[in-house]
């Protein structure tokens, strides 16, 4: 069968399952809508957390970054997995013990202030909208290639599907949908990786294939280093990034993971504190399956791409180049009209453009795998993007309905709150769709910004809120605002300064980065500012009420179910 036929079959079956689950698990109360009734098993919650967190950035874009950045791309692997260790040890059990529905809920009660709650809502919205923009871009890429529509149409189709099961099912529907989506995305990621590993090295385990030898007896990474250096690129296994920036990006991604509102809310969906720890452990195992495979997928992909396209005659290019060129994500421009595609590190001589975001999706076609594998990858890419988009939309809708409306209208009925939550999710879908059509960057780059914002705004006030009884509302508000504003300003200046403010290219170049830290890593600096401001302001203002201090002491002994409760 043709690729398109296989894609329709596999995507159709997976979507039917997702929508069926959403209908079966339709939320009937705010508790089911926000935290799935608090009755999800640790294993299911670990799978759902993994799917929620392994977004289009992980599935579609991360291996693409590693393929083109080589050694420097390892920051994403270290940061995005290391964050779960922080979550499991420092946050999950204590937040579960606290027993609220959302991060702003925690902030509002811990810091005994509606102002703090509103600032936390604003932070959650900034983080979630930045993150969801990357997911919608991923959805558009997947649909544009496999359903043979343009990216904008793909984004609109994805919006409709996410709207249906996120708005209908709430957290209950999303949780069980994400369990199914994890199974789809991990199967879709591993199958082509195993195929290509067997093809290139004869080893069925991609992680081991990465260090194995190719047909001529040369180690794959040595061969790749040689091929790239011949073309004028840096060797795959050597890095160019400054070590300060590598450390900053890794730290920002780690603490950003631990501060992401759509991940933290997952720990309110299990029955007991012990289950929150177990969930984080299971999630780390499920995530590691994909993350340990990504470096192999990246190396296989870039090696096969160069071998099949670079310096080949234009009229002998493989069929996948023509197919993907329709999406404008790969372009061939024979500048010197000699009939050869020159691929070079020198931009003036380079005649091949490859978008980082297509490396995983195009990998099966580049390796000439069976059509059903290509269709499977399409289903996996959609599962990855849609699962995270749904989780983020729930955070947005919950922040608006529960943390804004109920704060100022405490007498509001549960039915009205649920109606507002669904309306907010609908509005968020439209907003996210706009950024899917007009993306501020490639998928993983946009997502890295969201992690930086989470690191700079939420992580310090959650950590200090749990472990410091002296931390007060004035410190929390000042810390969140200073961390968020600084990080956002830095990202906007260096990433969008040319377009928004007409700044010169020299002004926004890496030469002017503070301490050599890139916009992707500046969240680490924003986090430090938040910590310092929190501490200084808390020390110079009155201590929290005694009952709040007693509550913190109780949270630090994470025993008991801590059922999620209303205000």
Q: Which of 388, 108, 463, 81 is nearest to 253 (CA)?
A: 81
Q: What is the mean pLDDT of residues 197-213?
A: 92
pLDDT of residue 439: 66
Least confident of 46-50, 67-71, 82-86, 466-470: 82-86
pLDDT digits (tens, 9 = 90+) for 309-367: 888 888 888 888 888 887 777 888 888 888 888 888 777 778 888 888 788 888 898 88
Contact between 548 and 85 (Cβ < 8 Å): no
pLDDT of residue 101: 60
Conformation bin of residue 432: beta by default, left when phi > 0, alpha when psi is -120 to 50: alpha
d(CA 402, CA 522): 31
pLDDT digits (tens, 9 = 90+) for 260-276: 777 777 777 777 777 87
Give the percent of the chain with pLDDT over 90.
Answer: 16
pLDDT of residue 526: 95
Query: In this structure, how many other beta carbons lie within 10 angstroms of the beta carbon of residue 221?
Result: 18
d(CA 492, CA 201): 44
pLDDT of residue 442: 54
pLDDT of residue 483: 94
Q: Find where tokens 């929290």 sit.
A: 544
Q: Judge whether residue 76 has pLDDT over 70.
A: yes
Domain ranges of the chain: 3-555
d(CA 18, CA 177): 5
Q: What is the mean pLDDT of residues 41-54?
A: 82
Mean pLDDT of the chain: 81
Contact between 75 and 253 (Cβ < 8 Å): yes
Conformation bin of residue 99: beta by default, left when phi > 0, alpha when psi is -120 to 50: left
For the ranges 140-144, 215-219, 492-496, 543-547, the one whose mean pLDDT is highest: 543-547
Contacts of range 214-219, beta carbons closer than 8 Å, 24 or more positions apart: none
pLDDT of residue 557: 67
Confidence (pTM): 0.80
pLDDT, greater one: 391 or 514: 514
From the centroid of its chain, how far is CA 362?
20
pLDDT of residue 170: 56
d(CA 487, CA 526): 5
Strand partners for 330: 354
Which DSSP string do the residues of 255-273 spell out, in sequence order? HHHHH-HHHHGGGGSSSSH
| pLDDT bracket for residue 480 (50, 70, 90) | very high
Q: How many helices (H) and strands (E) does the chain have?
A: 26, 2
pLDDT digits (tens, 9 = 90+) for 512-548: 899 889 898 999 999 999 999 999 999 999 999 999 8
353 φ/ψ angles, rounded to the nearest 5 degrees:
-115, 125
| pLDDT bracket for residue 28 (50, 70, 90) | low
In 133-169, which positions are buried (b, 16+ CB within 10 angstroms) versus exposed (e)? bbbbbbbbbbbbbbbebebeebbbbbbebbbbbbbbb
352 φ/ψ angles, rounded to the nearest 5 degrees:
-135, 125
In three-state secondary structure terms, 135 is helix
Alpha-carbon distances of 113 from 213, 545, 548, 567, rounded to whole Å? 61, 12, 12, 13
- Write out the two tokens for 282: 């299971």
| Alpha-carbon dihedral sign for residues 65, 69, 74, 75 | negative
pLDDT of residue 168: 59
CA dihedral 431, 436, 438, 443 (to 10 degrees): 130
Least confident of 16-30, 73-87, 462-476: 16-30
pLDDT of residue 490: 93
Q: What is the mean pLDDT of residues 39-51?
A: 81
Q: Judge whether residue 564 has pLDDT over 50.
A: no
pLDDT of residue 166: 60
Q: Judge whether residue 379 has pLDDT over 60.
A: yes
Angle at 176 between CA 171 and CA 177, to 5 degrees: 90
| pLDDT bracket for residue 561 (50, 70, 90) | very low
Q: Are strands 352-354 and 330-332 parallel, antiparallel or unpaired?
A: antiparallel
pLDDT of residue 563: 47
Q: Judge whether residue 37 has pLDDT over 70.
A: no
* CATH class given for the domain over 3-555: mainly alpha
pLDDT of residue 471: 92
Q: Judge whether residue 217 has pLDDT over 90.
A: no
Alpha-carbon distances of 374 from 360, 361, 363, rounded to whole Å? 10, 8, 9
pLDDT digits (tens, 9 = 90+) for 94-111: 777 777 667 788 888 889
pLDDT of residue 194: 95
CA dihedral 233, 238, 241, 242 (to 10 degrees): -140
In three-state secondary structure terms, 498 is helix
Q: What is the mean pLDDT of residues 206-215?
A: 90
């Amino acid at each position: 069968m043709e690729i398109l036929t296989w894609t329709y079959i596999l995507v159709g079956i997976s979507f039917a399952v997702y929508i069926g689950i959403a209908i079966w698990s339709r939320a009937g109360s705010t508790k089911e809508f926000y935290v799935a009734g608090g009755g999800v098993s640790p294993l299911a919650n670990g799978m759902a957390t993994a799917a929620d967190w392994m977004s289009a950035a992980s599935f579609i874009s991360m291996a693409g970054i590693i393929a083109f950045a080589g050694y420097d791309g390892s920051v994403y692997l270290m940061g995005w997995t290391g964050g779960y260790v922080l979550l499991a040890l420092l946050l999950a059990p204590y937040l579960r013990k606290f027993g609220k529905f959302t991060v702003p809920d925690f902030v509002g009660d811990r810091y005994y202030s509606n102002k703090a709650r509103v600032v936390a809502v604003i932070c959650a919205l900034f983080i979630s909208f930045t993150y969801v923009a990357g997911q919608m871009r991923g959805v558009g890429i997947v649909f544009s290639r496999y359903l043979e529509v343009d990216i904008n149409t793909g984004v609109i189709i994805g919006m409709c599907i996410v709207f249906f099961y996120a708005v209908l099912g709430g957290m209950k529907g999303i949780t069980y949908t994400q369990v199914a989506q994890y199974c789809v995305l991990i199967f879709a990621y591993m199958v082509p990786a195993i195929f290509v590993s067997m093809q290139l090295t004869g080893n069925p385990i991609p992680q081991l294939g990465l260090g194995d030898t190719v047909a001529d007896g040369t180690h794959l990474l040595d061969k790749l280093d040689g091929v790239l250096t011949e073309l004028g690129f840096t060797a795959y296994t050597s890095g160019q990034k400054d070590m300060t920036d590598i450390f900053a990006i890794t730290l920002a991604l780690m603490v950003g993971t631990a501060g992401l509102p759509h991940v933290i809310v997952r720990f309110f969906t299990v029955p007991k504190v012990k289950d929150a720890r177990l969930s984080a452990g299971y999630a780390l195992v499920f995530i590691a399956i994909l993350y340990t495979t990504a470096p192999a997928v990246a190396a296989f992909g870039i090696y096969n791409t160069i071998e099949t396209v670079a310096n080949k005659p234009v009229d002998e290019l493989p069929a996948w180049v023509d197919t993907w060129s329709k999406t404008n994500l790969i372009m061939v421009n024979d500048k010197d009209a000699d009939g050869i595609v020159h691929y070079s590190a020198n931009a003036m001589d380079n005649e091949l453009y490859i978008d980082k975001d297509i490396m995983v999706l195009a990998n099966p076609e580049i390796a000439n795998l069976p059509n059903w594998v290509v269709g499977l990858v399409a289903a996996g890419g959609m599962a990855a993007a849609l699962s995270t988009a749904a989780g983020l939309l729930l955070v947005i809708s919950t922040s608006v309905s529960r943390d804004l409306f109920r704060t100022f209208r405490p007498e509001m009925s549960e039915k009205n709150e649920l109606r507002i939550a669904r309306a907010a999710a609908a509005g968020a879908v439209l907003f996210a769709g706009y950024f899917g059509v007009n993306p501020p960057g490639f998928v993983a780059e946009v997502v890295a910004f969201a992690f930086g914002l989470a690191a700079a705004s939420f992580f310090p006030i959650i950590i200090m809120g749990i472990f410091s009884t002296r931390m007060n509302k004035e410190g929390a508000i000042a810390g969140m605002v200073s961390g968020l504003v600084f990080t956002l300003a830095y990202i906007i200046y260096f990433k969008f300064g040319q377009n928004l403010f007409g700044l010169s290219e020299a002004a926004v170049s890496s030469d002017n980065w503070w301490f050599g830290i890139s916009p992707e890593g500046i969240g680490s600096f924003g986090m430090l500012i938040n910590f310092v401001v929190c501490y200084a302001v808390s020390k110079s203002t009155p201590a929290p009420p005694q009952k709040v201090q007693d509550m913190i002491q109780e949270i630090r002994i994470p025993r008991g179910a801590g059922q999620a409760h209303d205000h």
